[in-house]
Amino acid sequence: MKGVWCEHAWLGAEGIADAVRIEVTDAGLAASVLPGVPARVGDVVLRGVVFPAAANAHSHAFHRALRGRTHDRGGTFWTWRETMYRAAAALTPALYEELATAVYAEMVVAGWTSVAEFHYVHHRPDGTPYGQGSEDSDADGPHAMELALARAAVQAGIRLTLLDTCYLAGGFGTPLGADRSRFSDGTAERWLARLAALRTAVSSRYPAHQVTVGAALHSVRAVPERDLAVIAQHLPPEVPLHVHLSEQPAENEDCLAATGCTPTELLSRHGLVTGRLSAVHATHVTERDLGLLGDAGASAVLCPTTEADLADGLGPAGDLLDAGVSLALGSDQHAVVDPWLEMRALEHGERLRTGRRGQVDPERLHGIASLGGAAAQGRRGAGFSPGLAADVMAVDPHTARTAGSSWEQLAYTATAQDVTGVVVGGVLTARDGVHATLGAPGPLLAAAIARLDDAANARNDPASTATWYTQPWEQH
């Protein structure tokens, strides 16, 4: 039986233990955890303090191309969104596979070992499905974009939950614009049929521990009420369901005006607020919303660094926890790809919101980042207990950022720069910021983003030398 030997390991309530050996099954699960033992020949050896790896519960991989490019003219979430749509319009299966591979490699070296990809770029830019011509390969056939993401995850060695997203409208009573036609299947029935075919296609190619398919509603403004009812009736009960929920006050206001209720109340009206639901953001939920989510045993996926970057507001993490809502973390638009910073931002947000320190202690933060994120994906959690996935990350406690920290409190000081080793299923996948098979993520990202830039610029104006991401906000 293969093993992972940890110089030191954080074992939750038991604290830090020295010389911990994790025995790993052929399926990549922890079989036993033995403290105080030497390493064996052939073991993966991790120096520093080892923690359960993090599970990224919300990602839009192509948004990574916007990092550091949308701040020069200010704006809002809604103006940022227009720039994002221009990037989405330029994606092809090949471009997306290249970019997503680089993004997932960036995640792995930071300590994320699974990801829920909230995916809605389904069809060709004109809205026609892939695979309707003479194509018969995965590269350009049915489910071309979805299978590109699956291949990217496998190359990066990250576990993927592909959240195939229903996106049918541009707002309450508003059709999708031409710039978003590739997101839509037209009706809930057609989305459900494609989702079923996709689940079959993925399960025939990949084991569930590697790639699996879940479902998402983009938002209540993007899925008309009639279609919500159809989805509630026909979506298989075992499929995880995610939704962007109350990210912006304008979403709440529009929903109240159109339906007489909040987004959470609207979902509840159709029986969609259940234990399988993960509400992404939940930044502006009401007290009644909190009760509905908590009573149903739903989860909330907070993305604190994205919510700060887009000026969404401070998510009510403490109120959600008090209501009985389970929490998870995501990197969303990838302004930051760092589970340690997401954990810290969650706690800092609560300090800013309440004026008190220590609202979410380190043990709970690690639970949110690891077990909470896995539960939102419908996956087995990672950690040191027998039966958990043998996914762990090691941190150097003696860097300029971590030196002097109590090791139990490294969640308040460490960053991805301090991660010295990442193991997925008992296999060493990254060391010191370098992916074991793909190398350093930086050059991969730079090359992929440059190619997307070329495609986006050519698509928006072949004769122009202006870049697609610096169009004046006033045009939108």
Buried b / exposed e along 157-195 (16+ C-beta atoms within 10 A): bbbbbbbbbbbbbbebeeebeeebbbbbbeebeebbebb
- pTM for this prediction: 0.95
- What is the spatial distance between Cα 216 and Cα 242, in angstroms, rounded to a whole number? 4
Active site residue 322: no
Per the CB < 8 A criterion, the answer to whether 432 and 393 are in contact is no
Ranges of the chain whose pLDDT falls below 70? 73, 78, 133-138, 460-476
**What's residue 476's pLDDT?**
23
| Residue among 13, 5, 7 nearest 367 (CA) | 13
Strand 174-175 to strand 169-171: parallel, antiparallel, or no bridges (unpaired)? antiparallel
N-to-C CA span, the chain: 59
Angstrom distance (rounded) from CA 12 to CA 22:
15
pLDDT computed for residue 461 by the predictor? 61
> What is the per-residue pLDDT for 136?
53
Residue 415 CA to residue 410 CA, distance in Å, equals: 9
Q: State residue 472's pLDDT score.
A: 32
Given this model, what pLDDT does residue 132 score?
77
Distances 259 to 164, 250, 267 between C-alpha atoms, Å: 26, 14, 11
Could you give the C-alpha distances from 347 to 305, 355, 359, 451, in angstroms and in order?
12, 11, 6, 37
Q: Which two tokens stand for residue 287?
A: 């007290």
User: Of residues 281, 284, 366, 435, which has the active-site annotation?
Assistant: 281
Dump pLDDT digits (tens) for 41-65. Answer: 999 999 999 999 999 999 999 999 9
User: What fold does the segment set 52-381 form as a domain?
Assistant: TIM Barrel (3.20.20)
* Cα separation, 17 vs 35, whole angstroms: 6
Q: How far lies 358's CA from each of 302, 309, 330, 349, 412, in Å?
A: 18, 23, 21, 11, 10
Sign of CA dihedral 394, 400, 402, 405: positive
pLDDT at res. 178: 85
pLDDT at 133: 63
**Cα separations (Å) of 54 from 258, 346, 439, 472?**
39, 14, 21, 38
The pLDDT value recorded for residue 386 is 96
CA dihedral 79, 80, 81, 82 (to 10 degrees): 60
The full DSSP string for 268-289 is: HHTT--STTEEEEE-TT--HHH
Catalytic residue among 138, 185, 332, 418: 332
Q: What angle do CA 96, 101, 105 make, to 5 degrees?
A: 150
CA distance 152 to 325: 32
CA–CA distance from 37 to each of 5, 12, 185, 374 (Å)? 9, 19, 56, 29
Span 197-216, pLDDT tens digits = 999 999 999 999 999 999 99
Element (H, E) at 197: helix 188-205
Would you call 476 a catalytic residue per the annotation? no
Among 64, 56, 53, 59, residue whose Cα is nearest residue 329: 56
Q: Give CA torsion, residues 212, 213, 219, 222, to 10 deg.
A: 150
Cβ partners under 8 Å of residue 307, min gap 6: 247, 281, 283, 313, 314, 315, 332
**pLDDT of res. 469:** 55
Closest CA to 80 of 91, 67, 99: 67
DSSP-assigned letters across all residues of 361-415: -HHHHHHIIIIIHHHHHT---BSSSTTSB--EEEE-TTSTTTTT--GGGGGGT--
Q: What SS3 state is found at 214?
A: strand
pLDDT at position 282 is 98
Exposure b/e, 213-231, CB count within 10 A at least 16 = b: bbbbbbbbbbbbeebbebb
Tell me, what's the pLDDT at 470?
47
Share of the chain above pLDDT 90, in %: 87
Q: Any idea where the domains of the chain sit in the sequence?
A: 52-381
Helix (H, G, I), strand (E, B), or coil: what is residue 65?
A: helix
